[in-house]
Structure 1
Amino acid sequence: MMGIGEIRLLIWVSSILYLAGFSLGFNPVDNYLINCGSPSNLSVGGRVFVADNSASQILSTPKNIFASTNSNSIDLPLYQTARILDGISQYTFPISKPGRHWIRLYFFPFVYTNYNMSMANFSVSAQDFVLLSNFQLQKDSMVKEYSVNITSNKLVLSFTPSDSSSFAFVNALEVVSVPDEIITDDAQTINPLGGYQGLWKQALETVFRVNMGGPTISPSNDTLGRTWVPDQDFLLNKNLAKSVSNIAAVTYVSGGPTPDIAPPSVYGTAVEMNSANVPNSNFNVTWNFDVNPGFQYLIRLHFCDIVSSSLNQLYFNVYINTWSVALNLDLSIQQINTLGAPYYMDFVTGLSDSSKLRVSIGPSITITSVSPNAILNGLEVMKMNNSRGSLDGVASITLISQPSSKKSVGVIVGVVLGVFIAVVLAVVLFLICRRRQMARHQHLKTWAPFSMNGGNSLSMGSKYSYGTTINTASNLGYRFPFAAMQDATNNFEESWVVGVGGFGKVYKGVLKDGTKVAVKRGNPQSQQGLAEFRTEIEMLSHFRHRHLVSLIGYCDERNEMILVYEYMENGTLKNHLYGSELPSLSWKERLDICIGSARGLHYLHTGSTKAIIHRDVKSANILLDENLMAKVADFGLSKTGPEIDQTHVSTAVKGSFGYLDPEYYRRQQLTEKSDVYSFGVVLFEVICARPVINPSLPREMVNLAEWAMKWQKIGQLENIIDPNLAGKIRPDSLRKFAETAEKCLADYGVDRPSMGDVLWNLEYALQLQEAVIQDDPEVNSTNQIGELSPLVNNADYVETSVTAAQLEMSSLDDLSAVSVSRVFSQLVKAEGR
């Protein structure tokens, strides 16, 4: 019998043999390769899997059962033997260097005496993660690959039969160190676009590892022993794709990916657009993958420009599902102006109910000076563990730690003792929780998040706000108990769901007094969490405006994050434009909605000492009440604007694709003009009534903002407007509206109008639609944005038609509600608020 020291020596020798052909390869500190059920070592692709009996000291199992077969159908010698684990069994691996490790499990079911491995049913766990739950393999071979960050000096790999009549098996296994740079802690999210941190805490399962445009790459040709499969089986339309190979062109540069990230045989092959079959190149190349719903996925995209003859010849877009994750990607810029330099991008998806994952590439729509083309060299899709620490279903470590078995005296005694201890603990916990609840109750008496002016109460019941009276002395009334939320939503009845967002689901609710409310319940697995919850409360408790959705209260019991808003009877602007059975909005209704939304945003930007930047302006965040009055909603991503002596706020990029300010995306510098850009996209969305990103359309139509700007610049926007509006818009009104949207989408923020200027022009577009203003020289003018009338710029000017009573009433809400002229009713200086 070999000791652990001898095992390590043998494993070290096998590592040297494996790395002999890879001078730049990674030398793993921990490198356990076990040929389970075999009495002898086995060399596979230059790696030596040690005999199972050599590893017996690291295995704890009720029985030592070695299984073998002489079947001719087995193509890999590792599958000719197996270890039968008839009962809870554990492999305990000493770890020399904590960090991320590969765990690879090899399975092939065959029959050995009384054990038919296709009938085996078991779970596998490692550290605090469930790798497999109730796993059963009927036929064929399978390799399951995981990477887990091991934080202690040992790794315990547990095999647990599902019940007393079942068993587990494994043909071979690996536990191998992973280079630190392979999985960093951060990535990009795709909905909304932003930063993700915490990958080091995640266990990952490799679901797909694909070599685009190339053949299978075996573990012996990869420095980390990985397998890469061809992409042909995943291509949605093979006729649109063309495989290319130029391995000699691959140049690894300092600071970029190494061969450990992906070998030259991955970066040296690619799939590009097959433009020869489609002369106009109006298409995307798309791959489809089957995934398990209910999980997040880490998607790694590998790029290397092996098709261009010089720099800056290739610009293309990349999409994941319906989201654009990279626009006008120029690989030569990404890697220090070097052709053929590898580059990769990591993205984390949100939770999805879909069992399909789609990745697409297509040419740039805006950069027309180069030939349309797009490439992808490699792709990795890795499943991330869920909130229970599981990579397989809803099981958790506690659920699989003990299999079902026949009762015995010991079990009965254990259960009795367990129940007794549980009762004692429950009583203790109840007393502790009660004390904490009383302490929290006392604390909440002093917290007044809805205090607006330091007074005892604030009337929000003006004819403009449609609100209620908030009493700052009774803030506990606005901290709803969880039971009240259950009652209001019929225990969160799914049929009461009126919307789903990044934070969670939104339910229609009815309070006990009959008040209709919208209840937004945070999803604990959402990427938007406590920070967004607090931001929403802080923002809406300090700002009140008839065009901002009012916050009624919140609930934070039982680790819940629930926000309660006034109910908006007519839902989102988006649903009234497309994708539903709702009747089409008239042009006047659309203008009124845009004007109301602009008023709300203008108030955010100017209503306090420092501007509030919304950061997620889109049609889905503009809600309509029973009278179709618009209110801006969802302030979870909002951020305070720059100080007086600053021009911007430096911050991580967040927002929604299609609406995101490209200057903010490039420079990560946020200003109010980022909201203006997003609102400009909404304006085009309003007039064209279509999604802002639609990858299923021809390439020049995928991005609404780019497509609409193309038509606007040649003065023919009327060719793409909503057919329901055809012949119903006055030309002057359309021209004014379109010019406003165009100015909002200027490439640089300094060239965009303020929200006050946008509001001025939208009000004017409405007046041009309703009637011709006599003797007004602006009627037939394009009226460049920013040339405001003296009325707007003069803070001291108030028309005599504005009475003292009107001013007094307005002070309860916002002075922007006062009509100060026959045309422009919203533009009183912000200092009056």
Structure 2
Amino acid sequence: MKLTPLPFPITFSSIFFPLLLLRSITADDNSPVQYDSQLAVAVNCGFLHNSTAIDGRQWLGETDCASIISFHGPGSKSLVPSSSDDHRSQSLDPTPYMTARASMSSFTYTFHVGSGYKFIRLHFYPPSYSSFKSSTAFFTVKSGPYTLLNNFSAFDSLSLKSIVKEFTLYIPEDGKPLSITFSPLRANIPSDGTFAFVNGIEVVPMPAGLYYTMEEEVDGDAAAYVAGQKCRFHLGKATAMEMAYRLNIGGIKLSSVHDPSMFREWTDDSNHIIESTVFPITFTNRIKYTRKTSKDSAPQRLYQSSWSMNRNLQHGEGVSFTWKLPVDLGFRYLIRLHFCELDYDVKENGQKEFSILINNHMVEPRGDLIKWGREIGVAIHKDYLTTLRGDRLKGKRDLLVALYPRYDEQSTEFIDSILKGIEEGIQLMQRAWLG
């Protein structure tokens, strides 16, 4: 996720908060409904009435939710994908991907939601839309002082069936609603042909301390460790972030159905772990949550999978688990690592220690889950901040997260990764997209 006004931006691997569930709405009831402004909102853009997704979640139509959502966009159109893209859309949920709101001029969705920390998710399905050329879809998305997307084109990712961009930010207690504006970029194409579009928008409230530092905890241990420095970084109300990665270590993709409070998706990490001699293992242990790591931090299934490595397959003295995450230069990145010790043979502090390196910076010389959680089966997460300096125009660079378990060299048992999930987010700056 990207963060607040700082010299450069931040990216984040695996962090999230508890969400309030959507109020049940009858899908075929076209009359306006009153909604609680503190509940999660999902809008099916370009569709007039309320609808139900395959997973049972309720999405609001543009005219059936006037009490909480308003729309302004003269000249905008409600579109459906062209028939030539039917083969690509067969595995997609019609809600929200089979309708879109598009325009060659700016349009704005305004959400009358309460103040506090929010998830904002923008859904895009990049097929062909009649009367719009895909090659001219370049636009900017802004919300208040933040530029969420700049010079964005969903059509650059035609290999993907759909695209979800996720952000977190704070809505102040000034009574002003949350506005999200989509604006075509004229600079790219010297004509009136550029357009902006969106298929779905989610606004999900999150607990105040899920990713951000509570004001009463500023002097405590809740802030993120800064890699390579002996200090911490506090994520406050002025910080906005964009999610870059959210990985389920050693497990399968977890959809929003598996994360019913926050509606997050966790992808598998098989394309990011470097070691080739690992194999997945799963557990059925019930996970214990604490005040610092609530059920909203991550779903139980995330903590029940990991990788294992046979020492006999290794050469040399060192054994490690390393993940490679390609990211942009010139940003600050927030990385959340999720842990859980599920080996009941581990009974005391110091029995199973490990070290953590982020981009070759030692951030934990002697990690110990029993010391951190005090018992087996406790969900734990740790936050770290690192900066990748350089010119963003030079492309991506790999951000490395490595765990080095300490072990008895005479033992022939398997070495398990106690890492369960990675979240990485990029810092967004107020007023401008940092260059």
Q: 2:266 aligns with which of 228, 234, 252?
A: 228
Deviation string for 1:336-367 (max 9, x for gaps)?
A: x21010110001112423621110111238x8
Q: What CA distance in whole angstroms lies between the structure 2 residues aligned with 1:112 and 1:374? A: 46
Residue 43, structure 1, aligned to residue 52, structure 2? yes
Q: 1:314 aligns with which of 347, 352, 374?
A: 352
**Residue correspondence of structure 1 range 464-543 to structure 2 within 5 A:** none
Q: What CA distance in whole angstroms lies between the structure 2 residues aligned with 1:248 and 1:341? A: 10
Contact map agreement 2:25 2:50 (CA 8 A) in 1: no
Residue 167, structure 1, aligned to residue 195, structure 2? yes
Identity level (%):
27
Q: What CA distance in whole angstroms lies between the structure 1 residues aligned with 2:297 and 2:432? A: 26
Per the alignment, residue 24 of structure 2 pairs with: 13
Deviation string for 1:59-106 (max 9, x for gaps)?
A: 11022411013523212212211111231111111122x111011001
**Residue correspondence of structure 1 range 78-93 to structure 2 within 5 A:** 78-93=96-111
Per the alignment, residue 209 of structure 2 pairs with: 181
Contact map agreement 1:148 1:202 (CA 8 A) in 2: yes
Contact map agreement 2:140 2:182 (CA 8 A) in 1: yes
Q: 2:88 aligns with which of 64, 67, 73?
A: 73
What secondary structure is seen at the aligned counterpart in 1 of 2:297? coil
Per the alignment, residue 492 of structure 1 pairs with: none
The TM-score normalised by the length of structure 2 is 0.78
Per the alignment, residue 54 of structure 1 pairs with: 64
Residue 111, structure 1, aligned to residue 122, structure 2? no
Contact map agreement 2:136 2:193 (CA 8 A) in 1: no
Contact map agreement 1:288 1:356 (CA 8 A) in 2: yes
What secondary structure is seen at the aligned counterpart in 1 of 2:74? coil
Q: Quickly say closer, same or farther: Cα 1:118–1:338, change in 2 above 3 A.
A: farther
Q: Quickly say closer, same or farther: Cα 1:246–1:280, change in 2 above 3 A.
A: farther
Contact map agreement 2:104 2:193 (CA 8 A) in 1: no
Offset, 1:242: 3.2
Deviation string for 1:787-827 (max 9, x for gaps)?
A: xxxxxxxxxxxxxxxxxxxxxxxxxxxxxxxxxxxxxxxxx
Residue 215, structure 1, aligned to residue 215, structure 2? no
Q: Quickly say closer, same or farther: Cα 1:279–1:220, change in 2 above 3 A.
A: same
Q: 2:385 aligns with which of 348, 354, 359?
A: 348
Q: What CA distance in whole angstroms lies between the structure 2 residues aligned with 1:166 and 1:350? A: 34
Contact map agreement 2:182 2:196 (CA 8 A) in 1: yes
Residue 283, structure 1, aligned to residue 292, structure 2? no
Q: What CA distance in whole angstroms lies between the structure 2 residues aligned with 1:110 and 1:209? A: 25
What secondary structure is seen at the aligned counterpart in 1 of 2:60? strand
Q: What CA distance in whole angstroms lies between the structure 2 residues aligned with 1:274 and 1:158? A: 52
Residue 32, structure 1, aligned to residue 17, structure 2? no
Counterpart residue identity of residue 38, structure 1: F
Q: What CA distance in whole angstroms lies between the structure 1 residues aligned with 2:149 and 2:43? A: 19
Deviation string for 1:753-796 (max 9, x for gaps)?
A: xxxxxxxxxxxxxxxxxxxxxxxxxxxxxxxxxxxxxxxxxxxx
Deviation string for 1:556-605 (max 9, x for gaps)?
A: xxxxxxxxxxxxxxxxxxxxxxxxxxxxxxxxxxxxxxxxxxxxxxxxxx
Q: What CA distance in whole angstroms lies between the structure 2 residues aligned with 1:168 and 1:387? A: 22
Per the alignment, residue 300 of structure 2 pairs with: 264
Contact map agreement 1:28 1:177 (CA 8 A) in 2: no
Contact map agreement 2:333 2:424 (CA 8 A) in 1: yes
Q: Quickly say closer, same or farther: Cα 1:281–1:55, change in 2 above 3 A.
A: farther
Deviation string for 1:725-764 (max 9, x for gaps)?
A: xxxxxxxxxxxxxxxxxxxxxxxxxxxxxxxxxxxxxxxx
Q: What CA distance in whole angstroms lies between the structure 1 residues aligned with 2:354 and 2:344? A: 13
Per the alignment, residue 405 of structure 2 pairs with: 363
Q: What CA distance in whole angstroms lies between the structure 1 residues aligned with 2:342 and 2:382? A: 17
RMSD: 2.5
Offset, 1:210: 0.2
Per the alignment, residue 197 of structure 1 pairs with: 234
Q: What CA distance in whole angstroms lies between the structure 2 residues aligned with 1:310 and 1:289? A: 31
Deviation string for 1:645-698 (max 9, x for gaps)?
A: xxxxxxxxxxxxxxxxxxxxxxxxxxxxxxxxxxxxxxxxxxxxxxxxxxxxxx
Offset, 1:235: 1.1
Which protein has the bigger helix share? 1
What secondary structure is seen at the aligned counterpart in 2 of 1:251? coil
* Ranges in structure 1 where 5+ consecutive residues have no aligned partner: 1-9, 16-26, 395-833
What secondary structure is seen at the aligned counterpart in 2 of 1:265? helix
Offset, 1:159: 0.7
Counterpart residue identity of residue 418, structure 2: I
Offset, 1:123: 0.2
Contact map agreement 2:75 2:103 (CA 8 A) in 1: yes
What secondary structure is seen at the aligned counterpart in 1 of 2:313? coil
Q: What CA distance in whole angstroms lies between the structure 2 residues aligned with 1:28 and 1:243? A: 42
The TM-score normalised by the length of structure 1 is 0.42
What secondary structure is seen at the aligned counterpart in 1 of 2:237? helix
Q: Quickly say closer, same or farther: Cα 1:157–1:387, change in 2 above 3 A.
A: closer
Counterpart residue identity of residue 66, structure 1: S
Bigger relative contact order, structure 1 or 2 (CA pairs below 8 A, ≥6 apart): 2
Contact map agreement 1:117 1:169 (CA 8 A) in 2: no
What secondary structure is seen at the aligned counterpart in 2 of 1:12? coil
Q: What CA distance in whole angstroms lies between the structure 1 residues aligned with 2:129 and 2:280? A: 45
**Residue correspondence of structure 1 range 321-400 to structure 2 within 5 A:** 321-335=359-373, 337-353=374-390, 355-364=397-406, 374-386=417-429, 389-390=432-433, 394=435
Per the alignment, residue 126 of structure 1 pairs with: 143
Q: What CA distance in whole angstroms lies between the structure 2 residues aligned with 1:220 and 1:156? A: 27
Contact map agreement 2:141 2:150 (CA 8 A) in 1: yes
**Alignment length, in residue pairs?**
367
**Residue correspondence of structure 1 range 724-735 to structure 2 within 5 A:** none
Per the alignment, residue 298 of structure 1 pairs with: 334
Contact map agreement 2:50 2:64 (CA 8 A) in 1: no
Deviation string for 1:370-422 (max 9, x for gaps)?
A: 976542110000011247543xx53xxxxxxxxxxxxxxxxxxxxxxxxxxxx
Q: What CA distance in whole angstroms lies between the structure 1 residues aligned with 2:125 and 2:296? A: 29
Per the alignment, residue 143 of structure 1 pairs with: 164
Q: Quickly say closer, same or farther: Cα 1:274–1:376, change in 2 above 3 A.
A: farther
Offset, 1:334: 0.6
Which protein has the bigger strand share? 2
Counterpart residue identity of residue 257, structure 1: T
* Ranges in structure 2 where 5+ consecutive residues have no aligned partner: 1-20, 27-35, 187-191, 214-222, 391-395
Deviation string for 1:147-177 (max 9, x for gaps)?
A: 1111143111011110243110001111111
Q: What CA distance in whole angstroms lies between the structure 2 residues aligned with 1:255 and 1:359? A: 26
Offset, 1:324: 1.0
Per the alignment, residue 763 of structure 1 pairs with: none
